[in-house]
Structure 1
Amino acid sequence: MGWKKMSFSIIFLLTVLISGCSAAEDVSTEKEENQNDKIVIGVAHANYEDTFLNLLLDGVKEYVDEHSNEMKAEYIDAENDSNKQIEQAEKFIEQGVDAIMLIPVDVIAAELILEKAERADIPIVLMNRSSLETESVFIGSDDVSFGFMQMERVAQILKGKGNIAIINGPMGQESQVNRTKGNKQVIEKHKGMKVVSEGTANWNQDEAKSLMKTWIESDIKIDAVVANNDEMAIGAIEAAEEAGIRDEIIFAGIDGTPDGLQYIESKKLAVSVLQDAKEQGQTGMSTAFRMAKGETVAKEPIYIPAELIVKDNVAKYK
């Protein structure tokens, strides 16, 4: 090959390579721009170890996956630490996310984060646990009705007579206060029913088992154990099984978790009330997405309806 022809070939190959690299860079730049154009939602989770809240998170992630061409989410876990959650939310605010979906550790965290987000003009959606003072968009459950529905079923089983032990979630937390309030509204209607024991197990199965053991050792006559959630009801059931008295007591929970449904199916748990975790998560994320796009959303509670779960209808929820 002559020198002129060789030079032409080299120049042609270099041109092709350069244009190819340029095209690749253009595609890469376009992808980055598309990523940057997506709406970013910061998801501030209270505690990844909480069974129900992780089911809620599954609903959030499913919604994000379905809308991944328009949005993305960043996830943080406060590990049930209020101060940590406040710091994490501040980082979201500094980062300039388009909206925050918050599952508060407690009302203190909720109030402070709402205040900081409002100053930064970042919309925020509270999930499962609301604030006490600041007006906000809230997605969750009407916990009084959950507790009322749960205890109504227990009253039916006991025919309006019996000694009740109540296992609370963390004392002062909104769900604990209102579920127990609903329980006691029913008890007040039945002169033959009374609360003989009450304690907290902080939503935790092991703590509930320990509490139930203490009650069993005290020889208090208990006809029904009514827990603020399924996990604590299961812990109480385990203690009663070990003591050989499970069949002597009615057990009730709230949430309709997979474990709770299994215990209902096996007739160990008499009743639960479905708190639809997936629906809460999806509704919460869709609301945060709308607010991030500038849509107006009323600052009022959006309640996901409760559903009673017993042995006769448990198959519907599995």
Structure 2
Amino acid sequence: MKKSLLCLTTAMALVAGAAHAQDKPKIGAAVYGLNAEFMQIWSAALEEHPAVTGGMVDLTIFDGRYDALVQQEQFETMITEEYDAIIFVPIDIEAGAAAVEAAAAAGIPVIGSNTRVNSDKLAAYVGSDDVQSGYMEAKYILDKIGCKGNVVILEGPIGQSAQIQRLEGNQKALAECPDVKVLEQQTANWSRAEAQTLMENWLTTHGDSIDGVIGQNDEMALGAIEAIKGAGMNVSDFAIAGIDGITDALNAVKAGDMASILQDARAQAQGALDLAIHKAMDGNYEPMSDIWATYTDMPWNGGADAQYNVPWTPVSAENVDALLAQRQ
């Protein structure tokens, strides 16, 4: 009798445990690629979210390997395995739309973050205004060269929203300086190595005619710096800017080699996860990340907004040491 009662109690505990596990939201994060530091910081911030460290949600991060087809297949996996919500950082603004449509059709909310997808089926978006950052970095370059001379532009992957929108911002600033000529403009796919090779070629072609380098991210700006140093030229003879505020760029700003604009990966990632959990739990959730207190001009608003814009932070001599300390 006691043995039967023990078996019954154990079985009930197992059922209760299974029910509890099923109640825990299963969240997937499909990111375009994890080779570079920015998305590594973004992904680490997800894993450090209080809901993850506290065991309230099951989180899986998928590496899209910079391939839209890979991301599509990862969405299919998450749909088949009935994830409760998906965070999406797409490699391609158009190609990612089909994945969002499929998830929405399956009743799975998709939260966009960092890069955009051309779909009206997103449940919400958490990111930063790339047109603004493109304008800010180009304006820095143009101001430094006195609104005259020659520049080159290192673009992100063609077709990704950040490339499209940062270029729009670049061009907006360039339109204000009609005496500035763009000597070269080409994608280096967010890659430091690809940017270094391009810049080496451009220095061979144009020599010291290049006055400014507009890098649509820090990795590419840093690649340009390596090429300049490798050619035996002085970095100080060039105006160079990037975007993201990765660690090497912060050190380069401190050294006076370039300018950068911090894109807050932690705020984008943790804000997106708060929204994903909120949607997965049908609104029965209050945000746990401290980023909502940090950015008071980006209110939570009950998780009801379609878009949340994380502000940019220009990196300067005054704040670079504090930003570097946060990376320790």
The match for 2:129 among 116, 136, 142 is 142
In structure 2, distance between residues paired with 1:107 and 1:297: 24
Amino acid at match of 2:319: N
In structure 2, distance between residues paired with 1:47 and 1:30: 38
Q: Give the aligned partner of residue 260 of structure 1.
A: 249
In structure 2, distance between residues paired with 1:268 and 1:28: 60
1:36-55 deviation digits (Å, cap 9, x = unpaired): 22111112122121321121
Q: Choose between structure 1 and 2: higher helix proportion.
A: 1
- Structure 2, gaps ≥5 residues long: 284-301
Larger radius of gyration: 1
Q: Report SS of the residue matched to 1:254.
A: strand
Q: Report SS of the residue matched to 2:29.
A: strand
Q: Are the aligned partners of 1:45 and 1:75 in contact in 2 as well (CA < 8 Å)? A: yes
The match for 2:314 among 301, 308, 312 is 308
- Structure 1, gaps ≥5 residues long: 1-14
Amino acid at match of 2:254: E
Q: Give the aligned partner of residue 231 of structure 1.
A: 219
Q: Give the aligned partner of residue 139 of structure 2.
A: 152
1:85-114 deviation digits (Å, cap 9, x = unpaired): 111111111111111111112124421111
Matched, 1:60 2:46: yes
Matched, 1:250 2:239: yes
Q: Are the aligned partners of 2:100 and 2:119 in contact in 1 as well (CA < 8 Å)? A: no
Q: Give the aligned partner of residue 119 of structure 1.
A: 105
In structure 1, distance between residues paired with 2:98 and 2:169: 28
Q: Give the aligned partner of residue 6 of structure 1.
A: none
In structure 2, distance between residues paired with 1:139 and 1:110: 16
How many residues of Structure 1 are paired with residues of Structure 2 in the alignment? 303
TM-aligned CA deviation for residue 21 of structure 1: 7.5
Q: Are the aligned partners of 2:43 and 2:61 in contact in 1 as well (CA < 8 Å)? A: no
Amino acid at match of 1:167: L
Equivalences for residues 67-82 of structure 1 within 5 A: 68-82=54-68
Q: Report SS of the residue matched to 1:287.
A: helix
Deviates more, 1:20-29 or 1:156-165: 20-29
Q: Report SS of the residue matched to 2:108.
A: coil
In structure 1, distance between residues paired with 2:303 and 2:231: 52
Amino acid at match of 1:115: E
Equivalences for residues 273-284 of structure 1 within 5 A: 273-284=261-272
In structure 2, distance between residues paired with 1:135 and 1:144: 22
Q: Report SS of the residue matched to 1:253.
A: strand
**Structure 1 residues 182 and 276, CA, compared in 2 at 3 Å: closer, same or farther?**
same
Q: Give the aligned partner of residue 9 of structure 1.
A: none
Structure 1 vs Structure 2: percent identity of aligned residues?
Answer: 30
Amino acid at match of 1:196: L
Amino acid at match of 2:120: T
Q: Give the aligned partner of residue 294 of structure 1.
A: 282
TM-score (norm 1): 0.87
Q: Give the aligned partner of residue 76 of structure 2.
A: 90
Amino acid at match of 2:320: V
The match for 2:179 among 192, 199, 222 is 192
TM-score (norm 2): 0.85
The match for 1:179 among 166, 170, 174 is 166
In structure 2, distance between residues paired with 1:171 and 1:182: 15
Q: Give the aligned partner of residue 164 of structure 1.
A: 151
Q: Report SS of the residue matched to 1:268.
A: coil
**Structure 1 residues 298 and 23, CA, compared in 2 at 3 Å: closer, same or farther?**
closer
In structure 2, distance between residues paired with 1:159 and 1:93: 53
In structure 1, distance between residues paired with 2:318 and 2:171: 26
Deviates more, 1:58-67 or 1:237-246: 58-67
Q: Are the aligned partners of 1:82 and 1:108 in contact in 2 as well (CA < 8 Å)? A: no
Matched, 1:241 2:229: yes
Q: Are the aligned partners of 1:176 and 1:228 in contact in 2 as well (CA < 8 Å)? A: yes
TM-aligned CA deviation for residue 144 of structure 1: 0.5
1:238-289 deviation digits (Å, cap 9, x = unpaired): 00001111232121100001111111112222x1111100110000100111
Q: Report SS of the residue matched to 1:186.
A: helix
Q: Give the aligned partner of residue 85 of structure 2.
A: 99
**Structure 1 residues 267 and 21, CA, compared in 2 at 3 Å: closer, same or farther?**
farther
Q: Give the aligned partner of residue 20 of structure 2.
A: 34
1:172-197 deviation digits (Å, cap 9, x = unpaired): 22111111211121121123322122
* RMSD across aligned positions (CA): 2.3
TM-aligned CA deviation for residue 17 of structure 1: 8.3
